Amino acid sequence: MMSPKQTSEDRGSPQFGHTPFQIIHILGNFLRIWSVYSMYRYLTQTGASVVLFIFCCLVPATILFLFLQKPWKGRPLSNTQVVPSVINGAITAFYFVLWGKGLKLCGPLRALMAEYSGAVLGVLSAVLYGQRQHVWKKVGGLMAMVASFYLLSQGWAMASYFPIKFGESPDTGDQTEHNLGMKEMILPIFAGILSALRRVIARRVSLKNQYKRRLHAITVASATCFLFPVAMWDMIIGSESADSKDLPFSTWAFISTIAFGIILIFYIDNIAEERLHMVFSSPRHLMVAGGCIIIMEIVYQVDFSLLGFLICALILGFGIHAATSLQRPRGDSLQKSSLSDDIFGDQVQMSPLPT
């Protein structure tokens, strides 16, 4: 018979066991966000093509994914898994192009925050599969998300545009982002929706984690193939331009994007879903990313308003929570909301993993 002391220790062990995974998740997201700032600085300072940069990063990432996962080995993958993964590659390629152009246009802070626009699929899943009496709550969350993106587009995260001034006006000589409108935010917002869609497809197609990794290698390879003609066309058009001078090569921008922005973040997201029960479009994930963004904004010494950013992040977090929160229904209606439960919300109920 187990003693009460031993039972209490066993109950507390899962939370203690999650601490290393939480640290890994924070460090992985910090490295990924660092790579985003490096990529943005390289694109803006050199004027390099976004499509060519992403394609040059996807090629070595594809080789590494294929070498690590070896999708041709093990149990053969069915056509019902391979074909959606190839289609998902086209969506992934489109996402990378839109997100890269949105990053170059709006800056890293807005581009990173706009990635959470994928939570709007939670509203769609609630309308299609959820309970109709909670639709208005999710629509309210959607409106809060739109309000947050509007404030970000108006420069509330920048000290020079934040309406509440403290003391003297800040020096905007080294300003990396500018006041935009909602029209310019469409690119990163739509990219965020595509990012959520590709995660949904990958989660639905793969039955086991091993299959998910093998299928992801196929997806990245497919995205590289779909992006190849676009990159070649962009290279031809670029070489015929008037200023066809050689662009400087930034080793850190390419290596960090490949290692942290494409490869590492995939495994970090897997750890977050499996061990921490945390999906990307969740307030908990936003909190981690927000802390990393604050550190990078301070380190890079750009025009940044901490209070304005916190206001936008809080409104966005509230909107995500309202749009993706799950009302626990009774009886068989729980099965109808399985799509929303599988995709969104940090309150996802999952079976405990074996230790």
Cα gap 307→328, rounded to integer Å: 35
Does residue 18 contact residue 275 with C-beta atoms inside 8 Å?
yes
Number of Cβ atoms within 10 Å of the Cβ of 171: 10
User: 75, exposed or middle or buried, with CB in 10 Å at 0-12, 13-18, 19+?
Assistant: exposed
Closest CA to 220 of 14, 12, 21, 67: 67
Task: Give the pLDDT score at 124.
Answer: 78
CA dihedral 68, 272, 152, 172 (to 10 degrees): -70
Task: Give the pLDDT score at 47.
Answer: 86
pLDDT in tens, the chain (355 residues): 444 444 444 444 445 567 899 999 999 999 999 999 999 999 998 888 999 999 999 999 999 999 999 998 888 888 999 999 999 999 999 999 999 999 999 999 999 999 999 988 877 776 777 556 677 888 888 999 999 999 999 999 998 888 887 654 555 444 545 667 788 899 999 999 999 999 999 988 876 666 889 999 999 999 999 999 999 998 888 755 545 455 566 789 999 999 999 999 999 999 998 888 898 889 999 999 999 999 999 998 888 999 999 999 999 999 999 888 764 444 443 343 334 444 444 343 343 433 3
Task: Give the pLDDT score at 208.
Answer: 66
Q: Which two tokens stand for residue 107?
A: 């800056």
Cα gap 307→157, rounded to integer Å: 8
pTM, whole model, 2 decimals?
A: 0.83
**pLDDT per residue as tens digits for the range 24-74:** 999 999 999 999 999 999 999 888 899 999 999 999 999 999 999 999 888
Cα gap 151→33, rounded to integer Å: 21
Tokens 């070649």 -> residue:
232
Closest CA to 37 of 111, 98, 115, 134: 111
**Max Cα separation, the chain?**
82
Cα gap 34→36, rounded to integer Å: 5
| First vs last C-alpha separation in the chain | 21
CA distances, 83 to each of 8, 88, 164 (Å): 48, 9, 52
Distance of CA 121 to the CA centre of its chain: 14
Tokens 């300003």 -> residue:
175
CA distances, 46 to each of 41, 129, 228, 247, 249 (Å): 8, 47, 22, 6, 9
